[in-house]
């Protein structure tokens, strides 16, 4: 489809006030779309869309996506949906699995049913690479075995399964994108112990040592948020492709030690957590061959951008080995052998 044909489409972004969702909104507004956001502000914040205040092309509706009666009719007249609303993080998913199920699984069916009711033409689902758990193969292809290690991974995987069944049963056009370690400005700053960037940037701002897990040699496929958004937008433009799963990764994998080196500062070591892979690394051959998509932001560049936005993490919680040990108690209790 030519770019001009998709200009001015009516797009709905669930989780549009969140980290990835707000970058998606930036991109869609820049492309001239009308954007409708549904977000319950559980982890997202209006602050993430503050720079669009007064833009008549943006509407924000504060609802829980599982609240079907409230959200369903917002899908009337929508051309495409990016379903990015979800609860993230490992520890709270172990503590409150039903809560995660409600948002990530019931919420997804609710979105799918709203799309079906209103004949939405394209749905892009934000799936998670956590479904691979500790894989045998690196880089990991889409057909690797599913080995969810904790409730968050299970719920995101179930959401993906629902999407693929809805695609099959109701002949909807749906594509699932499995994201690998997304990072970038506006990565969540509040609440529970979570993704490494927020933890380390708060530590840097406070001149505290980085809490490096294990020996720091473990690697992650850190993928910059605008690349993730670009992959989803690329998939959405391909209405000849449906019912498929694509890994979205950076094309490389980087050690925690190399991240520390780029950030600069001292280290303190904390124990390796059970169920944690030593490596995440997307096999991106499918997405590059079928969607002709490639990531654009190299890791060094992405880390530089994070440092330029470090003020965003001023109010983020500051973690140290003792508070992390306390916060991850259930992780060791339930996932330890
Ligand atoms: N990590 C770390 N210190 C922390 C938090 C995370 O060294 O305080 C490491 C962790 O061992 C992993 C990487 O950072 O190798 C990414 O962790 P995150 O929780 O962001 O993502 P995931 O483990 O789910 O890939």
* 97-116: pLDDT as tens digits: 999 999 999 999 999 999 99
Per-residue confidence (pLDDT) for residue 336, from 0 to 100: 83
pLDDT tens column, 295-337: 999 999 999 999 999 999 998 999 999 999 999 999 999 988 7
Tell whether ligand 1 has an atom less than 6 A from the beta carbon of residue 83: no
Burial (CB count <10 Å: 0-12, 13-18, 19+), residue 181: buried
Q: What is the spatial distance between Cα 94 and Cα 257, in angstroms, rounded to a whole number?
A: 28
From CA 245, how far away is CA 33, in angstroms rounded?
25
CA of residue 250 to ligand 1 center, whole Å? 17
Q: What are residue 34's phi and psi, to 5 degrees?
A: -90, 130
Q: Is 152 a catalytic residue?
A: yes
- pLDDT per position in the chain (337 positions), as tens? 444 454 579 999 999 999 999 999 999 999 999 999 999 999 999 999 999 999 999 999 999 999 999 999 999 999 999 999 999 989 999 999 999 999 999 999 999 999 999 999 999 999 999 999 999 999 999 999 999 999 999 999 999 999 999 999 999 999 999 999 999 999 977 778 889 999 999 999 999 999 999 999 999 999 999 999 999 999 999 999 999 999 999 999 999 999 999 999 999 999 999 888 999 999 999 999 999 999 999 999 999 999 999 999 998 999 999 999 999 999 999 988 7
- Pocket-testing residue among 213, 322, 327, ligand 1, by greatest number of atoms within 8 A of Cβ: 213
The answer to whether the 3-182+225-248 and 188-220+252-278+297-335 domains have the same CATH topology is no
**What is the sign of the dihedral through the CA atoms of 50, 51, 54 and 56?**
negative
What is the Å distance from ligand 1's center to 153 Cα? 15
The residue whose CB lies within 8 Å of the most ligand 1 atoms, and thus the one to mutate among 131, 132, 196, 263, is 196
Ligand 1 pocket, residue 203 CB under 6 Å: no
CATH class of the domain whose range is 188-220+252-278+297-335: alpha beta
**332 C-alpha to center of ligand 1: Å?**
15
Domain boundaries, the chain: 3-182+225-248, 188-220+252-278+297-335
Q: At what angle do helices 299-308 and 256-263 cross, to 10 degrees?
A: 50
- Is any ligand 1 atom within 6 A of the Cβ of residue 327? no
Residue 55 Cα to chain centre, angstroms: 25
Distance from Cα 213 to the centre of ligand 1, integer Å: 7
Q: Is any ligand 1 atom within 6 A of the Cβ of residue 129? A: no
Which of 152, 157, 162, 193 is an active site residue? 152
Tell me how far the alpha carbon of residue 195 lies from the centroid of ligand 1, in angstroms: 6
Residue owning the nearest CA to atom 3 of ligand 1: 212
What is the model's pLDDT at position 3? 47
Residue 7, pLDDT score: 57
Instruction: Give the count of beta carbons closer than 10 Å to the beta carbon of residue 318.
Output: 12
Task: Could you please state the CATH topology (level 3) that the domain comprising 3-182+225-248 is classified under.
Answer: Rossmann fold (3.40.50)
Asked whether 335 lines ligand 1 (CB < 6 A), one says no
CB 96 within 8 A of CB 337: no
């Amino acid at each position: 489809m030519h770019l001009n044909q998709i200009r001015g489409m009516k797009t709905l972004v669930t989780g549009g006030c969140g980290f990835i969702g707000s970058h998606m909104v930036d991109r869609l507004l820049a492309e001239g779309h009308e954007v409708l956001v549904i977000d319950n502000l559980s982890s997202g914040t209006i602050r993430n869309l503050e720079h669009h205040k007064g833009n008549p092309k943006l509407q924000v509706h504060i609802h829980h996506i599982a609240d079907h009666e409230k959200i369903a009719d917002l899908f009337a007249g929508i051309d495409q949906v990016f379903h990015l609303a979800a609860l993230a993080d490992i520890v709270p998913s172990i503590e409150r699995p039903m809560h995660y199920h409600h948002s990530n699984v019931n919420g997804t069916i609710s979105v799918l049913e709203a799309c079906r009711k209103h004949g939405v033409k394209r749905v892009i689902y934000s799936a998670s690479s956590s479904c691979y758990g500790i894989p045998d193969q690196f880089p990991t292809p889409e057909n690797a075995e599913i080995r969810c290690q904790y409730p968050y991974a299970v719920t995101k995987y179930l959401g993906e399964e629902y999407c693929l069944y809805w695609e099959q049963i109701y002949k909807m056009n749906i594509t699932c994108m499995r994201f690998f370690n997304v990072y970038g400005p506006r990565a969540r700053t509040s609440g529970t112990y979570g993704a490494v960037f927020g933890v380390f940037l708060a530590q840097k701002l406070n001149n505290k040592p980085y809490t490096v897990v294990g020996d720091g040699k473990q690697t992650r496929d850190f993928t910059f948020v605008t690349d993730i958004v670009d992959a989803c937008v690329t998939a959405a433009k391909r209405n000849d492709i449906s019912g498929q799963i694509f890994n979205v990764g950076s094309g490389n994998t980087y050690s925690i030690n190399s991240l520390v080196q780029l950030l600069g500062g001292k280290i303190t070591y904390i124990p390796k957590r059970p169920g944690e892979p030593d490596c995440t690394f997307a096999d991106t051959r499918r997405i590059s061959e079928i969607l002709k998509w490639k990531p654009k932001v190299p890791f060094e560049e992405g880390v530089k951008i994070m440092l330029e936005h470090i003020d965003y993490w001023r109010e983020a919680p500051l973690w140290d080995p003792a508070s992390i040990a306390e916060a991850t108690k259930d992780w060791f209790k339930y996932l330890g052998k």
